Chains A and B, each alone.
Chain A
Amino acid sequence: MSNKPYYSSITKKIVMSLMGLFLLTFLVVHLALNSLILFNKEWFNEGAHFMGTNWFIQVFQWVLFGGFALHIVFGVILQIKNWLSRPKGYKRRAAMEQSPFSKYMIYTGIIILIFLVIHLGNFFFVKMGWIGGMPLTASGGEDMGQLVINLFQHGGYVAFYVVMILLMGFHLDHAFQSAFQTLGLNHATYWNFINGLGRAYAIVVTLGFVIIPLFIYFKIV
């Protein structure tokens, strides 16, 4: 083996999976925060304020961006190699995958990335004051909650958001167990549990993100 720096396929995948697991935990925090809006807009604003001002979170958001970037860069590199590994495809190929959404990870991944940019545009960039105005509360503070509620008044946007979240759910369905497999954490005695947990995670997180805009749009809260 040569001594030049070399990142094996498995090393790249381990980075992918570690970053993936990191993003999975981030999603839980994000969902928890979002769900506050279902109970009380003020709580949500306080949460948002905390996230926006706490020094740890402020530093950590850049770590998060870094994680995203690594996950994306390595994912794309791996995918390109995968495409190159079969220059000529089959005329007839059956569906043989046991993890059904695994085939579309690059596509769902790209869609999530696009959504992420739009999503950041809608919330984060507004908050940063880069584009457009942020609604203010009576006391003059930033009213992130109102921003969310305003956005989810548009039926078209809600539909778009829901579809995007569903696609993200497909990504997550494969992601969870896949990360464990890549990290070598697959064993007959607990593999079914991991698989089940992964699917449950994908369903709960997806549902969580989906019901918030629906509840707001249909004014259930």
Chain B
Amino acid sequence: MTKIDSKIPAGPLAEKWTHYKEHQNLVNPANKRKIDIIVIGTGLAGGAAAASLGELGFNVKVFCIQDSPRRAHSIAAQGGINAAKNYPNDGDTVYRLFYDTIKGGDYRAREANVYRLAEVSNNIIDQCVAQGVPFAREYSGYLANRSFGGALVSRTFYARGQTGQQLLLGAYGALSKEIKRGSVKLYTRREMLDLVVTGEGKARGVIVRNLFTGEIERYGAHAVLLATGGYGNVYFLSTNAMTSNGSAAWRAYKRGAWFANPCYVQIHPTCIPVHGSYQSKLTLMSESLRNDGRIWVPKNKEDIEKVRSGALKPKDIPEENRDYYLERRYPAFGNLVPRDVASRAAKERCDAGYGVGNTGLAVYLDFKDAIDRLGKEVIKARYGNLFDMYERIVDDNPYETPMMIYPAIHYSMGGLWVDYELQSNIPGLFVGGEANFSDHGANRLGASALMQGLSDGYFVLPYTMQNYLADQITVGAIPTNTPEFDAAEKAVKDRIQKLMSVNGTETVDALHKRLGLIMWDHVGMARNKEGLEKAIKDIQALRKEFWEKVRVPGSPDGINIELEKALRLADFLELGELMARDALHREESAGGHFREEFQTPEGEALRNDKDYMYVGAWEYTGDDKEPKLNKEELKYENIEVKTRNYKTA
């Protein structure tokens, strides 16, 4: 087993980051303009990093898959962003945010990274306010907070149900400012299809496809930052955007970067249930709804039948016949347990036959008590836009009848392995935001994704990348006419040619849906050995079928949406297998990874800290060869490792 150096600075936890900054290498202002940096992705992490690096004076090339940086999927985050400001005076501290995040992640995240995240969380709020992000405010004119799952304090800042949008527009503004200034060059409608690694093993560029012209383009730089988000779309149905994909990370993996903890995916408990086979995506209902909504299912199966036949309305089921199962099982946290716990509890009820709706795969999220207590106007002010969205999609009025919700794939905690500096094992390749594995362990708490993205982008990468770039100032411009670039470009073109020439009978989406079902059934909310082994076989067979039967019409020149999707699916078909492998090897239940064989008698997740308290970082060894597992041991020196308990405080 390789000894992994995660470059955690020495010293007490609370001083590590300060210590790092005090001793790191810097690049002098005149030399910064000699350094090129490529940033892939313009979400919170990529956008913030590109803007901040540009401000410092580096030459930044930033790439986004959509027509504008402002469309990145960070925009869809609804609920909020955490910070340890303790404005409400309810006892929050940096340590408590750190503690909650580690505990919420089921003790599978790196202490030093998480502490730094909690530490800079306060700077993020300051920064965003300075950018003009219109956070919610109290009548005093000061910032408002609300509470989120997994915390006993109110530390979540929000901008209605559109926090991600507002934060992204803030970062996009900062980025636009730098584009105007000329320090950042923006490339839109580009998709990264390969990473270029030089003979000395350094990441020095990327191969991208121009989605408008179909041209394959090459770009060189002294360092590459991937901020390409998560891989939830491997399941086909998820709350991710349609173009969210795992290809950039996967291509980096195939060039030698380790992929860490791929089996940790988050299933969000409050999504609008699936309604049909033609469905293209799932819609999230913000976790903030659990502040005021109560989750329940009927106690009697007869009631469920009556509701289904229309003889009974859900709101007419009497109190004593309702099972508020989260409040029953977790009295201390109630409806605000972490997402993995809430999701599994919903699945448990539905599997037991108490699920509602036509499919039996839904539970109620009820606002009646909140409306009675606070009045409809207050609820409307808090969640009006979410209620409207629900009504548009489902055609039911949540003010009058309880919402129906069900868990759905939402976020991937796993991602490319990075050290304390957010640098992968390939020198010069940095990874930020959801694309890395770093801060959330096996489960992410609500309102922490935005925090991590912006922390990486504004306050971590601009420092740590400099530390790496300090000795690159003499290298000179990176040429792109090298054999490595030629080879990478050829590999991309060959892959495209191969896909175009299959000329089979199956559409990309049809195959993707089948992959999604395999993943959901066996690598979803509950996993077991047998299912995972079957999943690996099924995915391999499906991958073979894909390369024999996929149909990509048209030509690779110009816009070809089927080709784009096929390239992404080809990578998902490999990534899915790695996820299953990781899930199979991890013989414990932790956070988003729940192995049915490993649970307490009450059905709670059962960790195995003795054997699995490590980061599983997978190393590519060749197509159709088993990947190699590298383990980074996790040490908890500042926190007592316990079984997560949300029953008592």
Question: In the complex, are there CB atoms of A and B closer than 8 Å?
Answer: no
